[in-house]
């Protein structure tokens, strides 16, 4: 009897860990199945969200295209442009609608001056004549280069007379009659220019020499030995 009791006491102890393991195993399987179901549900939701986003993008794109088309249509209608190719009749209508405006040329307004100043600059290489009003505003000017003189002919008296004549022709419209003459330089055309002024019909009031003279300024060059 004692032996049977011992067996009964030891038997449930030996069976308990195995039964607990068996009970635990189906629970783990249930957990795995639950996680797989949740993953599938998430995938389905993600797919649905992606489809919704693509549909929204397509709708937005179609709306934008329709708006752009409407704005272009309004612009073309406001400007009178047609979406299709232009016909000859439409081109002719455009030409008739836009007449060319003729631009009026503004003529130069000449000031009327009775008295002025003449500056003659005569050097060894050139002669320049300028005519101004009493304030010093230039009315006309000329030089040997403008009168098509080249090389050593620029400083000749003949070139000076032609220069003064061309300058006087430019100033005829102003009504200049009296002149104060200022001569500068020691070239050969200074006297010829003054004579050409008097022969051109101008009354010379004053002739003044304005050639700069050094007062013990810079030292002069050494005399050339020949």
Angle of helix 190-199 relative to helix 157-170, nearest 10 degrees, comes to 40
Buried b (16+ CB within 10 A) or exposed e, 113-130: beebbbbbbbbeebbbbb
**Domain parsing of the chain, residue ranges:** 1-78, 115-209
- 163-216 pLDDT tens trace: 999 999 999 888 898 999 999 999 889 999 999 999 988 999 999 999 998 888
Q: What does the angle CA 114 – CA 116 – CA 118 come to, to the nearest 5 degrees?
A: 140
Q: Tell me the C-alpha distance between 146 and 90, whole Å.
A: 54
Q: What integer pLDDT is reported at residue 13 of this predicted model?
A: 47
d(CA 196, CA 71): 75
CA-nearest of 191, 177, 176 to 127 is 191
| Structure confidence at residue 160 (pLDDT) | 93
Percent of the chain with pLDDT over 70: 62
For the chain, strand residue ranges (E) read 115-122, 127-132, 138-143, 178-184, 203-209
pLDDT tens digits, 123-144: 999 999 999 999 999 999 999 9
Contact of 118 with 130, CB cutoff 8 Å: yes
Residue 95's pLDDT is what? 62
pLDDT confidence band for 72 (50 / 70 / 90): low
Rounded Cα distance, 180 and 136, in Å? 12
3-state secondary structure 56-99: HHHHHHHHHHHHHHHHHHHHHHHHCCCCCCCCHHHHHHHHHHCC
Select the CATH number that applies to the domain covering 115-209 from these four: 3.30.420.80, 3.40.50.2300, 3.50.50.60, 3.40.50.2000: 3.30.420.80
Share of the chain above pLDDT 90, in %: 35
Mean pLDDT of the chain: 77
Could you give the CA distance from residue 149 to residue 135 in angstroms, rounded to a whole number? 31
Q: What's the pLDDT band for 1 if we cut at 50, 70, 90? A: very low
Q: Both tokens of residue 104?
A: 């009026």
């Amino acid at each position: 009897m004692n032996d049977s009791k011992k067996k009964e006491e030891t038997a449930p102890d030996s069976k308990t860990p195995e039964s607990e393991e068996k009970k635990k195993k189906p629970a783990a399987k249930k957990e795995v199945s639950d996680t797989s179901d949740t993953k599938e549900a998430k995938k389905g939701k993600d797919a649905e969200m992606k489809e919704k986003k693509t549909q929204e993008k397509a709708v937005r794109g179609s709306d934008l295209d329709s708006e752009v088309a409407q704005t272009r249509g309004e612009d073309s209608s406001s400007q009178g442009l047609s979406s299709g190719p232009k016909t000859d009749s439409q081109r002719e209508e455009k030409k008739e609608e836009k007449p060319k405006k003729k631009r009026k040329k503004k003529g130069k307004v000449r000031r009327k001056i009775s008295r002025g100043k003449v500056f003659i600059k005569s050097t060894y290489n050139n002669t320049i004549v300028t005519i101004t009003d009493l304030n010093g505003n230039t009315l006309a000017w000329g030089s040997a280069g403008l009168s098509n003189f080249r090389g050593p002919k620029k400083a000749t008296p003949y070139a000076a007379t032609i220069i003064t004549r061309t300058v006087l022709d430019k100033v005829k419209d102003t009504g200049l009659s009296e002149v104060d003459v200022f001569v500068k330089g020691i070239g050969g055309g200074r006297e010829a220019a003054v004579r050409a002024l008097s022969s051109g019909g101008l009354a010379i009031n004053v002739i003044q020499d304005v050639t700069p003279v050094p007062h013990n300024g810079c030292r002069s060059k050494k005399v050339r030995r020949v």
